[in-house]
A and B are shown apart, each in its own frame.
Chain A
Amino acid sequence: MPSDEYLQGIYYIQGRDFVDAGIVSSEIKKSLKDKGIPESIIRRVAVITFEAEVNMISYSEQGTIQLFIEPDAITIQADDIGQGIEDIELAQQEGYSTADDSIRELGFGAGMGLANIKKYSDIFEITSNPGDGAHLKSVVKL
């Protein structure tokens, strides 16, 4: 994780709160705009934060997203408390999803979220202790 001096914000996410899905991502987007970060970078970060945010809402009890802005990179660190991920490799495969009907009804559960995050990141790391939660780090280089 980048040093604290680059920490731009910590955003809290509540599990199962689909009504507020996207609020954190749009706050992060605003904050990057204010900082004068290039549009093309902001677009990539928006996809990454949205997918991380929705996954926390869908599959965790609660979590945080931390946004770091360094001179040469933006880092998104997403940490949650919850069921975690049994098989990280499988979870990253496009099309794999454990979303239930209530989640699918909302248009989520295509199994594309993690694949999208990976695609839009320059560096992508995900770890999990099943039963404890999931930790995701994504870096977009400036």
Chain B
Amino acid sequence: MTLETLVEKLELKCKCCWEKLKTTEIKGGYAGDLLSDVMANSKEGSIWVTRQVHLNIVAVASLKEHAGIVIVQGATPDKDTVEKATREGVPIMVSELTEFELVGRIYQLLQNG
């Protein structure tokens, strides 16, 4: 599944790096708000679901080569976060759903190929 499909199916708001949505394939997912946990346990190509909004999430996603970040519950990423994500080419999206609901939906979509 591409990021573009994810954005369409779950009505995500994309905040930056629109040009990457079509070509970025999602290979899996990880949910977490503790950066050391995400750093140690997430895999490259994953979509990362979190409620963190500050710019350190971009460093983590970029180092781990995540497909992108989805921020939950309609939270607004900091301005610095979006700027850094644009520079580093890390797509950031926002969902209105809670972390629990969103992860369930993404998991289902990934299972159905």
- Within the complex, what minimum Cβ distance (angstroms) separates A9 from chain B? 17
Given A51-B39, A112-B36, A107 and B52 contact (CB-CB distance below 8 Å): yes
Q: Bound complex: CA of A112 vs CA of B52, how far in Å?
A: 18
Q: Is B33 an interface residue (CB 8 A)?
A: yes
- Within the complex, what minimum Cβ distance (angstroms) separates B78 from chain A? 11
Q: Bound complex: CA of A113 vs CA of B34, how far in Å?
A: 11
- Within the complex, what minimum Cβ distance (angstroms) separates B30 from chain A? 14
Q: Bound complex: CA of A21 vs CA of B60, how far in Å?
A: 9
- B-side binding surface: helix, strand, loop or mixed? helix
Given A22-B56, A107-B34, A43 and B62 contact (CB-CB distance below 8 Å): no
The chain A residue sitting closest to B34, CB to CB, is: A110
Once the chains bind, are B40 and A26 in contact (CB under 8 Å)?
Answer: no
Q: Which residues of A contact B33 (CB under 8 A)?
A: 107
Please report A residues at the B interface, Cβ cutoff 8 Å.
Answer: 18-19, 21-23, 25-26, 29, 43, 46-47, 50-51, 54, 105-108, 110, 112-113, 116, 119-120
